[in-house]
Amino acid sequence: MKLHGYFRSSASYRVRIALNLKGLSAEHLAHHLRKGEQCAPAYLAINPQGLVPTLEDDDTVLTQSLAIIEWLDETHPAPPLLPKDPLRRAKVRAFALVVACDTHPVQNLKVLARLRQLGLAEAQVTEWAAWANREGLTACEKLIAGEAGPFCFGALPTIADLCLVPQLANARRFGVDLAAFPRLLKAEAAARNIKAFADAAPDRQPDAE
């Protein structure tokens, strides 16, 4: 398999964790997002959105991190990344979607670039990104307040943790004070003890700057 990504890309980070948890290796192909390499014609031919990650497996090309992760989970079921119970699955997915649909896209590189084009000062752009993270993480904290953990939904990591850990890294980058999110930090601390998560961290990637 080949994973097209970027060390700081939180969506790529999610897929790196999934591959590591499943014990799958992939060749990592870095696309420097700040240099616009995701918009090169050769890359757009496999991912028309010009976003990372993209996973290639022989002739199969998959885009969108959560679709990739669910495909990996279905084709390599151990260890499972979703609970068996339909209601628990829905709750895990809802948490993951708060991050992947409603939080991350609002603070994505190209959205921030557009805000700069429209005349926002750098401090305003950073505040926008921090606000998006605070909003999303506030909801996430409430969604798992009643969960014993230590992971988001129980004793094992799920796709909720795969979305949470990279998003917390983004939040820190934008200067968000995470003290208000003790339950999220507890899940992150549990993930830190797992090599699959540690090895997927941005600073451990070959293209890290």
Q: What angle do CA 83, 25, 166 make, to 5 degrees?
A: 55
Would you say 61 or 149 has its CB closer to ligand GSH? 61
Would you say 9 or 205 has its CB closer to ligand GSH? 9
Would you say 125 or 150 has its CB closer to ligand GSH? 125
Tell me the closest approach of the beta carbon of residue 71 to ligand GSH, in angstroms. Answer: 12
Q: Residue 51, interface with ligand GSH (CB under 6 A)?
A: yes
Q: 3-state class of 79 per DSSP?
A: coil
Residue of the chain from 21, 30, 52, 168 that contacts ligand GSH (CB under 6 A): 52
Spatial CB neighbours of 152, under 8 Å, sequence gap ≥ 6: 92, 95, 144, 158, 160, 161, 164, 187
Q: Amino acid letter at 79?
A: P
Would you say 51 or 190 has its CB closer to ligand GSH? 51
Phi, psi of 151 (to 5 degrees): -75, 180
Q: Residue 158, interface with ligand GSH (CB under 6 A)?
A: no
Q: What's the DSSP call for residue 152?
A: T
Residue of the chain from 20, 38, 158, 205 that contacts ligand GSH (CB under 6 A): 38
Stretch that binds ligand GSH, among 75-83, 87-95, 108-116, 129-137 (CB under 6 A): 108-116
Q: Residue 3, interface with ligand GSH (CB under 6 A)?
A: no
Relative orientation angle of helices 122-143 and 159-173, to the nearest 10 degrees: 150
Residue span 62-91 as binding mask against ligand GSH, x where in contact by CB under 6 A, dash where not: --xxx-------------------------
- The footprint of ligand GSH (CB under 6 A) covers 9-11, 33, 38, 51-53, 64-66, 100, 108-110
